[in-house]
């Protein structure tokens, strides 16, 4: 028997606070599909995806209905294509992206991740072909997501790859210029990419993972915000220790939802359960925003002094609540700050409270990086690469994941608006220092060695 408070608090989270299961992502190994015959390879991967994931959407809907909690997105992540399709050239890589897109469409998932390469220490033949194929592959597909890992704490930062990514991001933006460079919204450059992230665009299935695995991404920034609002209304003098305790408890509840539903979906599909990734992932809806949490905490807007410490506090409390709720917490688990995908964050940027530099500082204490940041279209590839390299350094030195998902919006300047639509949202274009200048430092290329693991000051 439950108390009516227990029942009504769950209903309230669902009805007014946007609690949902943001994604159930089926990780699928394609390693045994390898072939040097492109047609054979395409048939094998298409069949593997469509057969294994045939019932994914229906089962997620069924389980979601049983618990009254919607599973908003169902997605697929696959083994890094640069590894699986290593024998092929760039043109064939584009054809493979089309096959992945068709497979995703056939099973009714909105995104499929894993058009990926891991090049932190060097670039192999398949990696080169995939990176070369990126602009065309992203422009000519709608569901395929790409990620390139260019740095790790153990290997260092591959600046040659970073430079290349600067150029490819520019090119991807140009090929999708009519849609404000949306191709770049499906491409993440990573340091320390996790093998089990369920969230897009960074999801791929690591080579250390099983044949198939169900990973779950839970969100709920609205639930955290409303919990803080209620506490502040009831106890206006609540201190930050009390508020972090509340965030932790709230994160616990939300994570339990993911664990329960994820395990049941995995059981029905006969696929092992992997991890719950509890990340406060916003959508461009009022009440489903990470930015609003900062205002509930007492900051005028995300971006003002106090933002970094508030984010550190929030991120840590979310991780602690999640870790207590499930023994299988993985992925990114923390707070996302995607500018265009969060109405409040993009408004803060528009109002001048949030700059690229402040965003970069924030990424040193939260779970991702410069995410869905629109910058002027005339930003040079070198400057773009330098922004990415800065972001990678934060991840490498702090032994954490960082990523850059930056969109140089073709033909638009700082202060104008970029529109990506749907979950990707819209945003003001942020100012970039030295946007059009060259950058001889980055142009030097090479590998920045892995950092020392002692003398940690």
- Residue 3 CB, shortest distance to another protein, in Å, is 8
State yes or no: residue 4 binds another protein (CB under 8 A): yes
Pairwise CA distance, residues 289 & 340, whole Å: 11
Phi, psi values for residue 56, rounded to 5°: -55, -50
Which residues touch 234 (CB under 8 Å, ≥6 apart)?
none
Structure tokens at 258: 């993911």
Pairwise CA distance, residues 107 & 344, whole Å: 34
> Is the CB of 4 or the CB of 39 nearer to another protein?
4
> Is the CB of 14 or the CB of 268 nearer to another protein?
14
By CB under 8 A, name the one of 180, 209, 259, 277 that touches another protein: 259
Pairwise CA distance, residues 370 & 432, whole Å: 13
State yes or no: residue 224 binds another protein (CB under 8 A): no
State yes or no: residue 1 binds another protein (CB under 8 A): yes
DSSP secondary structure string, 166-226?
HHHHHHHHHHTGGGTTGGGGGEEEEES--TT--SSSS----TTS-SEEEEEEE--HHHHHH
> Is the CB of 262 or the CB of 369 nearer to another protein?
262
> Is the CB of 10 or the CB of 95 nearer to another protein?
10
> Is the CB of 68 or the CB of 208 nearer to another protein?
68
Pairwise CA distance, residues 400 & 416, whole Å: 33
Footprint on residues 338-377 left by another protein (CB under 8 A): none
- Residue 22 CB, shortest distance to another protein, in Å, is 16
Which residues touch 6 (CB under 8 Å, ≥6 apart)?
none
State yes or no: residue 109 binds another protein (CB under 8 A): no
- Residue 279 CB, shortest distance to another protein, in Å, is 18
**Would you say 311 and 359 are in contact if contact means Cβ atoms under 8 Å apart?**
no
- CB environment 241-259: b (16+ within 10 A), e (fewer): eebbebbbebbbbbbbbbb
DSSP-assigned letter for residue 76: E
State yes or no: residue 11 binds another protein (CB under 8 A): yes
Phi, psi values for residue 281, rounded to 5°: -105, 115
Pairwise CA distance, residues 106 & 401, whole Å: 32
- Residue 324 CB, shortest distance to another protein, in Å, is 9
Structure tokens at 69: 């909690």
Footprint on residues 112-131 left by another protein (CB under 8 A): none
Binding mask 239-258 for another protein (x = CB under 8 A): --------------x--xx-
Binding mask 46-85 for another protein (x = CB under 8 A): -------------------xxxxx----------------
State yes or no: residue 104 binds another protein (CB under 8 A): no
Pairwise CA distance, residues 28 & 272, whole Å: 11
- Residue 70 CB, shortest distance to another protein, in Å, is 12
Structure tokens at 367: 């779970």
State yes or no: residue 260 binds another protein (CB under 8 A): yes
Which of 191, 101, 103 has its CA nearest to residue 137? 101
The CA–CA distances, whole Å, from 60 to 71, 251, 431 equal 6, 22, 42
> Is the CB of 5 or the CB of 39 nearer to another protein?
5
By CB under 8 A, name the one of 2, 233, 327, 449 that touches another protein: 2
- Residue 348 CB, shortest distance to another protein, in Å, is 31
Stretch binding another protein (CB under 8 A), from 5-13, 118-126, 302-310, 427-435: 5-13
State yes or no: residue 14 binds another protein (CB under 8 A): yes
Size of the site for another protein (CB under 8 A): 20
> Is the CB of 217 or the CB of 425 nearer to another protein?
217
- Residue 10 CB, shortest distance to another protein, in Å, is 6
Reported in sequence order, the residue ranges of 282-390 that DSSP labels E, i.e. its strands, are 334-335, 370-376
State yes or no: residue 8 binds another protein (CB under 8 A): yes
> Is the CB of 250 or the CB of 380 nearer to another protein?
250
Which of 58, 57, 93 has its CA nearest to residue 73? 57
- Residue 247 CB, shortest distance to another protein, in Å, is 16
- Residue 6 CB, shortest distance to another protein, in Å, is 4
- Residue 262 CB, shortest distance to another protein, in Å, is 11
Q: If you search the block for the tokens 């430092």, which residue do you land on?
A: 441
Return the number of other C-beta atoms located less than 10 Å from residue 180's C-beta: 28
Stretch binding another protein (CB under 8 A), from 2-10, 72-80, 312-320, 448-456: 2-10
- Residue 201 CB, shortest distance to another protein, in Å, is 30
Interface with another protein (CB under 8 A) = 1-2, 4, 6-11, 14, 65-69, 253, 256-257, 259-260
């Amino acid at each position: 028997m439950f108390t009516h408070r227990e029942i009504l608090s769950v209903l309230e989270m669902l009805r007014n606070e946007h609690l949902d299961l943001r994604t159930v992502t089926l990780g699928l190994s394609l390693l045994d599909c390898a072939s040097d015959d492109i047609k054979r390879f395409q048939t094998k991967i298409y069949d593997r995806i469509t057969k294994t994931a045939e019932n994914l959407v229906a089962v997620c809907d069924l389980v979601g209905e049983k618990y009254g909690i919607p599973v908003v997105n169902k997605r697929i992540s696959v083994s890094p294509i640069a590894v699986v399709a290593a024998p092929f050239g760039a043109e064939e890589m584009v054809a493979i992206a089309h096959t992945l897109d068709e497979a995703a469409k056939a099973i009714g998932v909105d995104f499929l991740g894993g058009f990926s390469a891991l090049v932190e220490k060097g670039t192999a033949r398949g990696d080169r072909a995939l990176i070369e194929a990126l602009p065309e592959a992203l422009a000519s597909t709608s569901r395929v997501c790409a990620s390139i890992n260019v740095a790790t704490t153990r290997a260092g930062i591959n600046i040659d790859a970073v430079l290349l990514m600067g150029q490819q991001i520019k090119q991807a933006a140009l090929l999708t210029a009519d849609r404000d460079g949306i191709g770049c919204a499906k491409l993440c450059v990573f340091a320390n990419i996790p093998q089990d992230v369920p969230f897009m665009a960074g999801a791929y299935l690591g080579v250390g993972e099983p044949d198939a695995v169900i990973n779950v991404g839970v969100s709920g920034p609205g639930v955290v915000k409303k919990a803080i609002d209620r506490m502040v209304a009831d106890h206006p003098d609540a201190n930050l220790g009390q508020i972090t305790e509340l965030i932790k408890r709230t994160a616990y509840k939300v994570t339990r939802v993911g664990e329960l539903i994820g395990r049941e979906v995995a059981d029905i599909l006969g696929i092992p359960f992997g991890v719950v990734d509890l990340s406060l992932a916003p959508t461009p809806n009022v009440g489903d925003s990470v930015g609003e949490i900062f205002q509930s905490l007492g900051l005028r807007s995300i971006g003002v002094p106090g933002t970094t410490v508030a984010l550190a506090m929030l991120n840590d409390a979310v991780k602690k609540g999640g870790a207590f709720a499930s023994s299988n917490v993985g992925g990114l688990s923390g707070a996302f700050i995607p500018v265009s995908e969060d109405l409040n964050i993009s408004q803060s940027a528009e109002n001048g409270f949030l700059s690229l530099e402040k965003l970069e500082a924030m990424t040193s204490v939260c779970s991702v990086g410069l995410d869905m940041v629109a910058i002027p279209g005339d930003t040079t590839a070198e400057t773009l690469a330098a922004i990415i390299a800065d972001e990678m350094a934060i991840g490498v030195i702090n032994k954490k994941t960082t990523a850059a998902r930056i969109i140089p919006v073709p033909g638009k300047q700082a202060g104008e608006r970029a529109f990506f639509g749907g979950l990707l949202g819209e945003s003001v274009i942020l100012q970039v220092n030295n946007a059009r200048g060259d950058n001889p430092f980055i142009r030097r290329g090479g590998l920045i060695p892995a950092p020392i693991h002692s003398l940690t000051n």
